[in-house]
Amino acid sequence: MDRLWAPWRVKYIRNKKRKKCIFCCGAKSAQKNYVVFKNRYSFSMLNIFPYNNGHLMVSPKRHVKELALLKKVEVLDLFETLSVTKKLLDKVLKPDGYNIGINLGESSGAGIAGHLHIHIVCRWRGDTNFMPILANTKVISQSLAELYQQLKNARSGRN
């Protein structure tokens, strides 16, 4: 089994002193939090500690931890946001595939278990290559700011 190796995430995982929910902040301040797309009840944003280039998260605006706590209209909105976000990634990064999933509860690996979110991780053939294994280093060839701008441009039809 190939594994994505992301040692830079340790900084994020060890940061236990986070006081504010990043998703609630993202819902309020789009530019500052790399929000790529906002829908009526949900939005998508870049993960600043990505597993891979093009790791985004889709979240409801409301701070809820369970799917069952979402109203039907919020579930539809969330999946529409997921679909729009994936289309933006298709257009801008053209990955070979995706891992799309939800971690529910801290024991599942959810970093922020209190606010439901869906991970979208772009995958390319060979993205689990020798660099992470031999050098304990992952090459991400694009900055977050550059990716953010490309996704925003794709959203507004400027590329």
State the residues that interact with Zn ion by CB under 5 A.
21, 23-24, 63, 115
Instruction: Report in angstroms how near the CB of residue 80 gets to Zn ion at its nearest.
Output: 20
β-strand partners of 42: 60
Amino acid at 147: L
Instruction: Report in angstroms how near the CB of residue 108 gets to Zn ion at its nearest.
Output: 18
Which residue, 15 or 143, has its beta carbon nearer to Zn ion? 15
Instruction: Report in angstroms how near the CB of residue 113 gets to Zn ion at its nearest.
Output: 11
**Where are the strands (E) in 2-147, listed by range?**
35-38, 42-46, 55-60, 97-101, 118-123
Residue 117 appears among annotated catalytic residues: yes
Q: How far apart are CA 146 and CA 26, in angstroms?
A: 18
| Annotated catalytic residue, options 55, 63, 115, 117 | 117
CB 93, CB 121: distance < 8 Å: no
Which residue, 102 or 131, has its beta carbon nearer to Zn ion? 102
The residues annotated as belonging to the active site are 117
